[in-house]
Amino acid sequence: MLSAPTPLAENHDLGLFQSGTESLDQWLRRRARANQVSGASRTYVVAEGTRVVDYYCLSSGGLDLAEAPGIVRRNMPDPIPMVVLGRLAVDGSWQRKGLGAALLQDAVLRASQAATILGIRGIFVHAISDEAKAF
Protein backbone atom coordinates (compact mmCIF):
# COMPACT_ATOMS: atom_id res chain seq x y z
CA MET A 1 0.00 0.00 0.00
CA LEU A 2 1.25 3.47 -0.87
CA SER A 3 1.54 6.31 1.61
CA ALA A 4 0.13 9.76 1.10
CA PRO A 5 2.76 12.34 0.10
CA THR A 6 4.84 13.12 3.18
CA PRO A 7 8.02 15.08 3.84
CA LEU A 8 11.19 13.12 3.14
CA ALA A 9 12.47 11.51 6.36
CA GLU A 10 15.55 9.56 7.41
CA ASN A 11 13.71 6.24 7.31
CA HIS A 12 12.81 6.59 3.61
CA ASP A 13 14.78 4.22 1.37
CA LEU A 14 16.06 6.05 -1.70
CA GLY A 15 18.47 3.39 -2.96
CA LEU A 16 16.16 1.53 -5.35
CA PHE A 17 14.52 4.57 -6.94
CA GLN A 18 14.87 4.58 -10.75
CA SER A 19 12.73 6.95 -12.77
CA GLY A 20 14.60 6.51 -16.03
CA THR A 21 16.11 10.00 -15.75
CA GLU A 22 19.50 9.66 -14.07
CA SER A 23 19.76 13.30 -12.98
CA LEU A 24 16.44 13.06 -11.09
CA ASP A 25 17.46 9.76 -9.47
CA GLN A 26 20.87 11.08 -8.43
CA TRP A 27 19.44 14.32 -7.04
CA LEU A 28 17.07 12.34 -4.84
CA ARG A 29 19.88 10.15 -3.51
CA ARG A 30 22.58 12.81 -3.16
CA ARG A 31 20.90 16.16 -2.52
CA ALA A 32 17.32 15.79 -1.29
CA ARG A 33 18.12 15.11 2.37
CA ALA A 34 20.81 17.81 2.56
CA ASN A 35 18.45 20.34 0.99
CA GLN A 36 15.73 19.30 3.43
CA VAL A 37 18.04 19.90 6.41
CA SER A 38 19.40 23.21 5.09
CA GLY A 39 15.97 24.53 4.15
CA ALA A 40 16.92 24.98 0.48
CA SER A 41 13.93 22.90 -0.61
CA ARG A 42 11.30 20.54 0.70
CA THR A 43 10.95 17.08 -0.79
CA TYR A 44 7.69 15.16 -0.54
CA VAL A 45 7.62 11.43 -1.19
CA VAL A 46 5.15 8.61 -1.68
CA ALA A 47 6.44 5.31 -0.36
CA GLU A 48 5.56 1.66 -0.40
CA GLY A 49 6.60 0.77 3.13
CA THR A 50 9.83 2.76 3.39
CA ARG A 51 10.77 2.50 -0.32
CA VAL A 52 10.23 5.79 -2.15
CA VAL A 53 8.25 5.32 -5.37
CA ASP A 54 7.81 8.96 -6.36
CA TYR A 55 8.77 12.43 -5.21
CA TYR A 56 8.70 16.13 -5.90
CA CYS A 57 10.47 19.10 -4.37
CA LEU A 58 9.34 22.64 -3.73
CA SER A 59 11.30 25.77 -2.95
CA SER A 60 10.76 29.50 -3.04
CA GLY A 61 12.02 31.66 -5.85
CA GLY A 62 11.37 34.64 -8.00
CA LEU A 63 10.53 35.23 -11.62
CA ASP A 64 11.97 38.32 -13.30
CA LEU A 65 9.20 40.75 -14.05
CA ALA A 66 10.33 41.10 -17.67
CA GLU A 67 10.01 37.33 -18.25
CA ALA A 68 6.50 36.99 -16.85
CA PRO A 69 3.30 37.05 -18.91
CA GLY A 70 1.17 40.16 -18.45
CA ILE A 71 -1.48 38.47 -16.33
CA VAL A 72 1.20 37.33 -13.87
CA ARG A 73 3.24 40.53 -13.70
CA ARG A 74 0.43 43.04 -13.17
CA ASN A 75 1.00 44.99 -9.92
CA MET A 76 3.80 42.62 -8.86
CA PRO A 77 7.27 43.42 -7.49
CA ASP A 78 10.46 42.45 -9.32
CA PRO A 79 11.17 39.57 -8.91
CA ILE A 80 7.69 38.09 -8.66
CA PRO A 81 7.46 35.72 -5.65
CA MET A 82 6.86 32.15 -6.77
CA VAL A 83 6.85 28.58 -5.54
CA VAL A 84 9.34 26.58 -7.59
CA LEU A 85 8.52 22.98 -8.50
CA GLY A 86 12.09 21.89 -9.12
CA ARG A 87 11.75 18.15 -9.55
CA LEU A 88 9.03 15.54 -9.93
CA ALA A 89 9.75 11.89 -10.70
CA VAL A 90 8.04 8.51 -10.52
CA ASP A 91 9.87 5.20 -10.20
CA GLY A 92 9.72 3.20 -13.43
CA SER A 93 7.70 0.39 -11.88
CA TRP A 94 4.97 2.89 -10.93
CA GLN A 95 4.88 5.03 -14.08
CA ARG A 96 1.71 5.35 -16.18
CA LYS A 97 -0.51 4.73 -13.14
CA GLY A 98 -1.53 8.30 -12.37
CA LEU A 99 1.01 8.93 -9.61
CA GLY A 100 2.69 11.84 -11.41
CA ALA A 101 -0.62 13.66 -11.84
CA ALA A 102 -1.50 13.00 -8.19
CA LEU A 103 1.89 14.38 -7.11
CA LEU A 104 1.41 17.49 -9.21
CA GLN A 105 -2.01 18.00 -7.64
CA ASP A 106 -0.46 17.66 -4.17
CA ALA A 107 2.26 20.19 -5.05
CA VAL A 108 -0.33 22.71 -6.24
CA LEU A 109 -2.36 22.18 -3.07
CA ARG A 110 0.69 22.76 -0.85
CA ALA A 111 1.63 25.87 -2.83
CA SER A 112 -1.88 27.27 -2.44
CA GLN A 113 -1.74 26.56 1.30
CA ALA A 114 1.59 28.40 1.52
CA ALA A 115 0.05 31.32 -0.36
CA THR A 116 -2.38 31.84 2.53
CA ILE A 117 0.53 32.87 4.77
CA LEU A 118 3.17 34.09 2.28
CA GLY A 119 3.16 36.35 -0.72
CA ILE A 120 3.19 33.93 -3.66
CA ARG A 121 1.94 34.75 -7.15
CA GLY A 122 2.15 31.31 -8.71
CA ILE A 123 4.10 28.15 -9.37
CA PHE A 124 7.17 28.10 -11.59
CA VAL A 125 8.06 24.68 -13.01
CA HIS A 126 11.59 23.66 -14.01
CA ALA A 127 10.73 21.12 -16.71
CA ILE A 128 13.70 18.87 -17.47
CA SER A 129 12.57 17.86 -20.97
CA ASP A 130 9.95 18.42 -23.65
CA GLU A 131 8.12 15.35 -22.34
CA ALA A 132 8.04 16.91 -18.87
CA LYS A 133 6.75 20.19 -20.32
CA ALA A 134 3.96 18.34 -22.10
CA PHE A 135 2.98 16.62 -18.85
Q: pLDDT digits over 31-70, tens only?
A: 999 999 999 999 999 999 999 999 999 999 999 999 998 8
Query: Residue 16 has what pLDDT?
Result: 95
User: 100 in helix, strand or coil?
Assistant: helix
Q: pLDDT digits over 74-115, tens only?
A: 889 999 999 999 999 999 999 999 999 999 999 999 999 999
pLDDT category of residue 132 using cuts at 50, 70 and 90: low
Helix (H) or strand (E) holding 107: helix 99-114
Domain 6-134 carries which CATH code?
3.40.630.30
β-strands 6-7, 51-63: how paired? unpaired
Radius of gyration of the chain (CA): 15
Is the Cβ–Cβ distance between 28 and 57 less than 8 Å?
Answer: no
Q: Which residues contact 133 (CB under 8 A, 6 or more apart)?
A: 127
Q: Which amino acid is at 115?
A: A
- CA dist., res. 71 & res. 115, Å (int): 18
> Residue ranges per domain, the chain?
6-134
Q: Classify residue 113 as exposed, middle or buried by CB count within 10 Å of its CB (0-12, 13-18, 19+).
A: exposed
- CA dist., res. 60 & res. 41, Å (int): 8
